[in-house]
A and B are shown apart, each in its own frame.
Chain A
Amino acid sequence: MSGKIEARLAELGITLPPAFAPAANYLGWQIDGNLLYIAGQGPVKQDGGLVTGRVGSDLTVEEGYDAARHTALELVAHTKVALEGDLDRVKRWVKLFAMVNCGPDFVQQPQVINGASDVLVDIFGDAGRHARSAVGMSSLPVGISVEIEAVVEIG
Chain B
Amino acid sequence: MAGKIDARLAELGIEIATPTPPQANYVPYVISGNLVYVSGQVPVVDGEVKFKGKVGDDVDVATAAQAARACALNIIAQVKAACDGDLDRVNRCIRLGGFINATADFTEQPQVINGASDLLVEIFGDAGRHARFAVGAGSLPLGVAVEIDAIFEIS
Q: Which chain A residues have a beta carbon within 8 Å of chain B's beta carbons?
A: 33-35, 92-97, 102-111, 113-114, 117-118, 121, 129-139, 151, 153
Contact = CB atoms under 8 A, between A and B. Distances in A.
A35 B94 CA distance: 16
Interface of B: 23-30, 32-33, 37-40, 54, 97, 99, 101, 103-104, 137-143, 147, 149
Closest 9 CB pairs of A and B: A133-B40, A136-B139, A138-B138, A131-B39, A117-B25, A95-B37, A133-B149, A135-B137, A131-B37
A105 B139 CA distance: 6
Q: Main secondary structure on chain A at its contact with chain B?
A: mixed
Contacts of B23: 110
A132 B40 contact: yes
Given A94-B32, A109-B140, A131-B26, 18 more contacts: A33-B33, A97-B97, A104-B54, A104-B103, A104-B138, A105-B143, A111-B24, A121-B25, A131-B29, A131-B38, A132-B26, A132-B39, A134-B40, A135-B141, A136-B138, A136-B141, A137-B138, A139-B138
A105 to B, nearest CB: 7
Contacts of B28: 131
Nearest to B104: A138
A131 B22 CA distance: 9
B82 to A, nearest CB: 10
